[in-house]
Amino acid sequence: MKIWKRLAALALCAALTSGTAFAANTVYRTITVQYSDIKLVVDGVKVTPKDADGITVEPFIYNGTTYLPVRAVGNAIGKQVTWDGKSKTVYLGEAPGSRTWLMDVCPPYETYIAFKTPSSFKMAGQAYTHGFTMNNASTKGCYALFNLNGNYNTLSCDIGHVDDTPMVDGQYEIYLDGDLAQIIEVKAEDLVRHFDIPLHNALQMKIVFVTNVYSGGAFGFANCELS
């Protein structure tokens, strides 16, 4: 049997700016919703929705649409839930500013030949973002210079061959303040590999793609995060 309950002044979008004043876009409505013991099952596992204080929150139906508590859903699917009260935004997963992306805070100030920054690119059949690609458009190599200002200890990234580009092997040389700090061998047939590259609070980083042949084959640096 379906049970109907009356919710007085249920806010669909509500926030107080002071004790008596309301924000300009705040709307309060009295609505009728349906509670009928709705169950939440994720990948075959029953989930009991709870709020941040561990109190069970029951899903309900309003105008034919089922509403679930967003925090409970986020936790059930393994996504962090973040509420931005200023912008009235709920973030499932990554929230803006939660990670320091290389290309956001330290884009290269100088590049040489075939350095590209597509919004996304595929490696081993999967789409990647937050990075760049470099190819062997010249036997002289391809490079990029980054001004780190001595602010970071590590560059974390995923490196692999970019799909639909010619197969070619090569290597990346990482220079910190002019000194060779690390060499990364890359094979076109390898799966994408994760690297944590020590930066030692260097002022400058130079990444050089070295190859002995010209074919236009490209490799990508993805998920480039500074810490």
Predicted confidence pLDDT, tens digits, the chain (227 residues): 444 333 333 333 333 333 444 455 678 888 888 888 888 888 788 888 877 777 888 888 888 888 888 777 776 776 667 766 676 787 766 656 557 899 999 999 998 878 899 989 999 999 999 999 988 765 556 889 999 999 999 999 999 999 988 888 878 999 999 999 999 998 889 899 999 999 999 999 999 988 766 667 789 999 999 99
Indicate whether 152 and 76 sit together in one domain.
no
To the nearest 10°, the Cα dihedral for 75, 77, 78, 82?
-50
- Across the chain, what does the average pLDDT equal? 80
Among 35, 70, 92, where does a domain finish? 92
Among 92, 119, 141, where does a domain finish? 92
pTM equals 0.61
DSSP calls for 20-63: S-B-TT-EEEEEEEEES---EEETTEEE--B-TTS-B---EEET
Q: Which of 160, 149, 159 is nearest to 205 (CA)?
A: 149
Indicate whether 87 and 62 sit together in one domain.
yes
CATH at 221: 2.60.120.1060
Q: Exposed (0-12), middle (13-18) or buried (19+): which is 51, by Cβ within 10 Å? A: exposed
Q: Is residue 110 part of a domain?
A: yes
Indicate whether 87 and 106 sit together in one domain.
no
Indicate whether 76 and 174 sit together in one domain.
no
Indicate whether 139 and 48 sit together in one domain.
no
Q: What is the pLDDT of residue 53?
A: 76
Indicate whether 49 and 142 sit together in one domain.
no
Indicate whether 119 and 76 sit together in one domain.
no
Indicate whether 159 and 49 sit together in one domain.
no
Q: What is the pLDDT of residue 94?
A: 62
Indicate whether 82 and 144 sit together in one domain.
no
Q: What is the pLDDT of residue 79?
A: 67
Whole-number Å distance between alpha carbons of 167 and 213: 11
Q: Exposed (0-12), middle (13-18) or buried (19+): which is 160, by Cβ within 10 Å? A: buried
Q: What is the pLDDT of residue 80?
A: 67
Q: Is residue 97 part of a domain?
A: no
Q: Exposed (0-12), middle (13-18) or buried (19+): which is 35, by Cβ within 10 Å? A: middle
Among 92, 110, 141, where does a domain finish? 92
CB contact at 8 A, 122 and 162: yes
Q: Is residue 140 part of a domain?
A: yes
Q: 204: which 2 tokens?
A: 């400058």
Q: Which domain holds residue 76?
A: 3-92
Q: Is residue 65 part of a domain?
A: yes
Indicate whether 126 and 175 sit together in one domain.
yes
Indicate whether 109 and 64 sit together in one domain.
no
In the chain, how many domains are there?
A: 2
Q: What is the pLDDT of residue 78?
A: 67
Whole-number Å distance between alpha carbons of 66 and 189: 47
Indicate whether 106 and 82 sit together in one domain.
no
CB contact at 8 A, 48 and 55: no
